[in-house]
Chains A and B, each alone.
Chain A
């Protein structure tokens, strides 16, 4: 049974993480039992253990548990019953619970509105799918309440020019008043047309009345419409006044013409000047380039001519200069070499030092890698060992499934046997019935025959009496047999019950109960003592 217990433990752990796993169900404390069962069922807010236990039992019964269950199952548990109960409950758990449990609790609140809406949509759709079909013209009556208005919409089409008497009767003219009193159609007549809607019209007019007051009114609108006309009027007036002054206009236009011509000539002149300017600039740049090329040549020529003026003296001067420069150069080279040597030495030193450092680093890393390799190998070995042990521990599972298969096979065999026995029993019953019926018919016939002859014959009369007696005795016998059968059946049932009760180890539970009762009695006595102690001082006082 340990495998079953392990499975139960695993499942309970998933249902409620606070349940501490124990090796066997036999070690379960009452508190753990209560917690496990209450974790499986919904939480029940009751203070007392008894109340909780009995409501848990009721919950189990309600969810279809058929075994013997009551508050004692939770307060004084035994392994057999508990195993049965928990296995039943775990079977009843919804399959998705384990996967959704973690995510659902967090999202519950965030999604609640959306989920509610979705649920509502779902409900609505289900409802719509279930409603009977109603022809379209009858839908306004049939499904209107449940399905809203469907396609029976009315377009929002207002009558934009309702004729209703205005608010102030004093402002109406006599003709208007007469018109409204006699001829004007009422509101409903005005909106009777199919193309407009009454409510749309009145809403439209109400808004127009409210906001039309603030807007530019008819008079303002007139002013607005005048403005664009103004420019049209102005040109029509200007020619009439301009006719008198033809010559100045002509003059002015002539002047304009002249100025335009002048402007054009000036523009062409400017263009030609600009072209000339560009050409000149180009020439200037070329000239400056030439100058730049010629000047160094000029300098060289000047200096050679100076040297050539007094050749011998200048030559000696130049030679001495050359010598001094050479000696200077030699000293500088010497100096340079002096400086360079120590620096080269230090460079060499540094290079060797660096190389040594690198080598050291590589060695260190090699050592590290070796250590790591060793650790990894060790780990590998360990893992191999665990793998082997794991694969070994897998074996019981296989064994277990094999046993389950065996059990199933056995159960099948037994079932076939049971069916066979049932068939036999049925056959037997049939035969019994046939024989019984035959016997009955035979008896009836004999009875009749003897009765007929008993009227005339004395022996026959006696025979008839004997027959009756025989019949009575036989039926008594049959009754006895059936009674014996019933008693045997009862005995067997009782034996089974006794076995069951034996399994429940009543003795320990009884001891526990008596222990509890004693504790309670002690507690009650203590309380009574306290009460007395509390009462006495009162009496004395």
Chain B
């Protein structure tokens, strides 16, 4: 769903009034709070959005009353609240800065209060949640192996009798606990030995660093 071509008054207002980090849709969604959506529902919507942001896997009971009267606005506002908190966390705003930004947008005073309060209360969790997000090298936390030996191949009918280690390094997905293979390789005993020695060297280095 592409956004409408940018001639909306909300966008222009947003561009002139804020630092321009929030898109027109977000600004519109925030303006709904406390206006089209009643103050108690605003509170509920903010709390719900925060809960679902912090615990993406959690199963939280649906709150049908939010969508009872003006569903489109509610959906827009949910998006706006989540985006606002994500951006605030991303740019390291404190509660006061968030409040200033919101006041510049000319929002409902009650909504501003509620948004800043919730943000200040759960800022730590938001930061922790967002710190996990990103691209990184895989962590290896599990290893599986088996000893393999060929029986016959397309080029030879008899076994070579060479035994190899078939090693699989991987980790477990934190959300589902399912195992993910990161690298898989084959090596003989000598290669394995040298690999282990290198790993031991790492351990020694770590100990040395800690002791010295």
On whether the two chains bind one another, the answer is yes
Which of the 9-residue segments B83-91, B101-109, B155-163, B189-197 touches chain A?
B83-91
* Binary per-residue interface labels of chain A (193-206) against chain B in the complex, 1 for a CB within 8 Å, 0 otherwise: 01001111011011
Which of B2, B172, B212 is in CB contact (< 8 Å) with A212?
B2
22 A-B pairs with CB atoms under 8 Å apart are A122-B209, A137-B177, A150-B139, A153-B174, A156-B135, A162-B1, A163-B1, A164-B75, A164-B76, A164-B79, A166-B8, A167-B8, A169-B72, A171-B8, A172-B72, A181-B71, A199-B130, A202-B79, A202-B83, A203-B90, A205-B25, A212-B3
Which of the 9-residue segments B16-24, B92-100, B111-119, B145-153 touches chain A?
B16-24
Q: How far is the CA of A177 from the CA of B73 in the complex (A)?
A: 10
The yes or no answer to B52 lying at the interface (CB within 8 A) is yes
Q: How far is the CA of A203 from the CA of B131 in the complex (A)?
A: 14
- Given contacts A151-B139, A212-B2, A165 and B72 within 8 Å (CB-CB): yes
Is the beta-carbon distance between B75 and A187 smaller than 8 angstroms? yes
The yes or no answer to A99 lying at the interface (CB within 8 A) is no
* Binary per-residue interface labels of chain A (153-190) against chain B in the complex, 1 for a CB within 8 Å, 0 otherwise: 11110000111111111011000010011101011100
- Given contacts A122-B212, A188-B52, A203 and B172 within 8 Å (CB-CB): no
Is the beta-carbon distance between B4 and A167 smaller than 8 angstroms? yes
Q: How far is the CA of A539 from the CA of B27 in the complex (A)?
A: 84
Q: Which residues of B contact A (CB under 8 A)?
A: 1-6, 8-11, 20-29, 52-53, 56, 67, 70-76, 78-79, 82-83, 86-87, 90, 128-136, 138-139, 141-142, 171-172, 174-177, 206-207, 209-212
Closest to A185 in B: B75
Is the beta-carbon distance between A187 and B175 smaller than 8 angstroms? no
Is the beta-carbon distance between B28 and A199 smaller than 8 angstroms? no
Is the beta-carbon distance between A129 and B83 smaller than 8 angstroms? no
Q: A198 — which chain B residues lie within 8 A by C-beta?
A: 52-53, 56, 82
Is the beta-carbon distance between A149 and B79 smaller than 8 angstroms? no
- Ranked 5 nearest A-B pairs via Cβ: A151-B139, A209-B23, A213-B6, A180-B72, A167-B24
Closest to B211 in A: A126
A175 to chain B, nearest CB (A): 12
Q: How far is the CA of A209 from the CA of B139 in the complex (A)?
A: 34
Closest to B9 in A: A168
Main SS at interface, chain A: helix
A254 to chain B, nearest CB (A): 57
Is the beta-carbon distance between A182 and B71 smaller than 8 angstroms? yes
A141 to chain B, nearest CB (A): 11
Q: How far is the CA of A121 from the CA of B82 in the complex (A)?
A: 35
The yes or no answer to A398 lying at the interface (CB within 8 A) is no
Closest to A144 in B: B128
Q: B129 — which chain A residues lie within 8 A by C-beta?
A: 199
Q: B210 — which chain A residues lie within 8 A by C-beta?
A: 122, 125-126, 129
Is the beta-carbon distance between A165 and B75 smaller than 8 angstroms? yes
Q: A156 — which chain B residues lie within 8 A by C-beta?
A: 133-135
Q: B52 — which chain A residues lie within 8 A by C-beta?
A: 188, 198
Is the beta-carbon distance between A137 and B172 smaller than 8 angstroms? yes
Q: A218 — which chain B residues lie within 8 A by C-beta?
A: 2, 5
Q: A162 — which chain B residues lie within 8 A by C-beta?
A: 1, 79
A283 to chain B, nearest CB (A): 74
Q: B141 — which chain A residues lie within 8 A by C-beta?
A: 136, 151
The yes or no answer to A219 lying at the interface (CB within 8 A) is yes
Q: A181 — which chain B residues lie within 8 A by C-beta?
A: 70-72
Residue in B6, B133, B177 with the greatest tally of chain A CB atoms within 10 Å: B133
Q: How far is the CA of A155 from the CA of B139 in the complex (A)?
A: 13
Is the beta-carbon distance between A171 and B78 smaller than 8 angstroms? no
Is the beta-carbon distance between A206 and B132 smaller than 8 angstroms? no
Is the beta-carbon distance between A186 and B75 smaller than 8 angstroms? yes
Q: Which residues of A contact B (CB under 8 A)?
A: 121-122, 125-126, 129, 136-137, 140, 144, 148-156, 161-169, 171-172, 177, 180-182, 184, 186-188, 191, 194, 197-200, 202-203, 205-210, 212-214, 217-219
Q: How far is the CA of A417 from the CA of B171 in the complex (A)?
A: 70
Is the beta-carbon distance between B28 and A168 smaller than 8 angstroms? yes
Is the beta-carbon distance between A206 and B78 smaller than 8 angstroms? no
- Given contacts A165-B75, A202-B79, A155 and B135 within 8 Å (CB-CB): yes
Q: A210 — which chain B residues lie within 8 A by C-beta?
A: 20-23
Which of A125, A150, A154, A163 is in CB contact (< 8 Å) with B209?
A125
Q: B177 — which chain A residues lie within 8 A by C-beta?
A: 137
Is the beta-carbon distance between B56 and A197 smaller than 8 angstroms? yes
Which of A151, A164, A167 is in CB contact (< 8 Å) with B27?
A167
Which of B3, B78, B134 is in CB contact (< 8 Å) with A209?
B3
Is the beta-carbon distance between B25 and A209 smaller than 8 angstroms? yes
- Given contacts A152-B132, A153-B132, A167-B25, A194 and B78 within 8 Å (CB-CB): no
Which of B20, B83, B135, B138 is in CB contact (< 8 Å) with A205?
B83
B192 to chain A, nearest CB (A): 24
Q: How far is the CA of A166 from the CA of B206 in the complex (A)?
A: 54
B52 to chain A, nearest CB (A): 5
A280 to chain B, nearest CB (A): 73
- Given contacts A122-B212, A209-B25, A129 and B207 within 8 Å (CB-CB): yes
Q: A152 — which chain B residues lie within 8 A by C-beta?
A: 132, 174
Closest to B60 in A: A188
Q: How far is the CA of A171 from the CA of B11 in the complex (A)?
A: 14
Is the beta-carbon distance between A149 and B23 smaller than 8 angstroms? no
- Given contacts A125-B209, A151-B141, A156-B135, A164 and B24 within 8 Å (CB-CB): no
Is the beta-carbon distance between B83 and A203 smaller than 8 angstroms? yes
Q: How far is the CA of A186 from the CA of B73 in the complex (A)?
A: 11
A527 to chain B, nearest CB (A): 59
Q: How far is the CA of A121 from the CA of B10 in the complex (A)?
A: 49
Q: B135 — which chain A residues lie within 8 A by C-beta?
A: 155-156
- Given contacts A167-B25, A202-B83, A203-B83, A213 and B53 within 8 Å (CB-CB): no
